[in-house]
Amino acid sequence: MITWAPMGVGRLIARTRRNCSSVPTSGTGSKSSCDLDNTSRNGLANVLVMETDLAQLAHDRFEIADALHRYAFGLDHGDADSLRSALTEDCHFDFRPAGRKLEIDFPLLSGRDAILNGVLPFIGPLDTSHSVSNLQIEISGDTATLYAYVLSQHFLPREGSRRGSEYALLMNRYDCNLMRDGDKWRFKSITIDNAWALGNPEILNALASRLALRTKSKKTG
């Protein structure tokens, strides 16, 4: 398992390089102490491997964070393509832990199409913004876990810029599993719990009720 050690690996590489100082030889010029014996050469090879691992780790961490950013962008802009790109085909989306605290009835969604059809009509019309922070990432081969805070601000449609509008400000905890897909990472599961809330989360239920009534009206019309 590869875990993020932001300073430890870098210090080890730096120390190894410092140990590869130039020393005098019997001929002209000098050569690196890294060339003195097989042990030193093996040590240099290990440094190169470590540098490669560190570069791959940095790339993976960037792509995992980017998956969360694509997800947030898709929600905020009602962008189905952006949201779709962040999910595996069989992804599970579970808002129930947060929903129980906020008294919002939102079902478990299984499958990318179900998530797009369930989340975008619910969140997309809102004046909303999502900000992500405190990402904790653990990578094991082609799978990874991500823990993060996501701060979401919600207003009813076209009311976000009106002074005094009702709002819901939610600090949610995300517990996610991801899978590598080529150079990209995509969410296999997203579980959302709520840390705290301000304002009136009932506006989310109000929108859900409007959507339900509109859907029912279309079916009976």
Considering the domain boundaries, does residue 23 fall inside one?
no
**86-106: string of b/e by CB count within 10 Å (b at 16+)?**
bbbeebbbbbbebbebbebeb
CATH number at residue 118: 3.10.450.50
Written as one string, the DSSP assignment of 135-165 is EEEEEETTEEEEEEEEEEEEE-TT-TTSTT-
Considering the domain boundaries, does residue 44 fall inside one?
no
Work out the pLDDT band at 5, boundaries 50, 70, 90: very low
User: Contact 78/120 with Cβ under 8 angstroms?
Assistant: yes
Separation between Cα atoms, residue 128 and residue 154, nearest integer Å: 5
Domain interval for residue 149: 57-220
Considering the domain boundaries, does residue 26 fall inside one?
no
The token pair at 83 is 């949201």
Separation between Cα atoms, residue 194 and residue 217, nearest integer Å: 33
Considering the domain boundaries, does residue 66 fall inside one?
yes
Considering the domain boundaries, does residue 28 fall inside one?
no
Least confident range from 107-111, 127-131, 181-185: namely: 127-131
Which residue has 């081969």 as its token pair?
A: 141
Q: How many domains does the chain have?
A: 1
Whether 172 has a pLDDT exceeding 80, the answer reads: yes
pLDDT in tens, 123-136: 877 888 999 999 99
pLDDT in tens, 11-37: 333 333 334 444 444 445 544 444 445
Considering the domain boundaries, does residue 114 fall inside one?
yes
Considering the domain boundaries, does residue 33 fall inside one?
no
pLDDT in tens, 75-98: 999 999 999 999 999 999 999 999
Separation between Cα atoms, residue 34 and residue 23, nearest integer Å: 10
**Which pLDDT score, from 0 to 100, does residue 59 have?**
95
Considering the domain boundaries, does residue 12 fall inside one?
no
pLDDT in tens, 130-163: 999 999 999 999 999 999 999 999 887 777 778 8
Question: What one-character DSSP code corresponds to residue 33?
Answer: G
Separation between Cα atoms, residue 51 and residue 35, nearest integer Å: 19
Question: What one-character DSSP code corresponds to residue 182?
Answer: T
